[in-house]
Amino acid sequence: MLLHVQSYPVVHQRCMERARECAMGTRKSPARQRFGLVSVYDHHGSWYLYFHNGQRRVRQRAGINRSVAEVRASLLNAKLVATQAAIAIAKELSAIFQHDAPVDQQVSEPCLVTVPELRRRFLDHHEKVQGSSLATILRYAAATSHLERFVGAVGADRIDVMAFAQHLRTI
């Protein structure tokens, strides 16, 4: 005597379709994109930033626009790298991140480092300490060369951030 047992699918149909998508590589964009120490990823229609702040893992909602999330990620990466390298950041950059915790190593005395020297230290730190890829170092070198050409050899504490941002918009 044979018993007829109705078979039910063990795995949900949408899960199988998703597994096929991943196996076939049909995703249009990568799940995560790295900007130095910060990752950007999409989760249920919003873009999030993921990074480590000291020993603490942090996930922040960056908004619904991918390009805004990428800009915030690159600025946050600059802030985290500068903090690790014990480089003072201008007050204007800190004002962008009002909702973040304050930078632990904020220097209050005037900065005696010139922009070219600061640029050299920043690129050396990425090359030797962070171990960044050559493409990343070249991208940072290109970005920081705009700043160096704009301000020349003045002290890093005398940078007019708003004027520089205006200058970047005209390039």
The pLDDT profile of the chain, 171 residues, written as one tens digit per residue, is 555 555 555 555 555 666 666 555 555 666 788 888 899 999 888 899 999 887 889 999 988 888 888 888 888 888 888 777 766 555 555 555 555 444 444 444 555 788 888 888 889 888 888 888 899 899 989 888 888 888 887 777 778 888 888 888 888
| Cα angle 66-67-72, degrees, rounded to a multiple of 5 | 100
How many other CB atoms sit within 10 Å of the CB of residue 35? 20
pTM above 0.85, yes or no: no
Sheet arrangement for strand 38-43: 32-35, 38-43, 46-53, 56-63
Say how many CA atoms lie within 13 Å of 52 toward its Cβ. 6
Measured in degrees and rounded to the nearest 5, phi and psi for residue 56 equal: -100, 130
Alpha carbon dihedral 61, 67, 129, 152, in 10-degree steps, equals -120
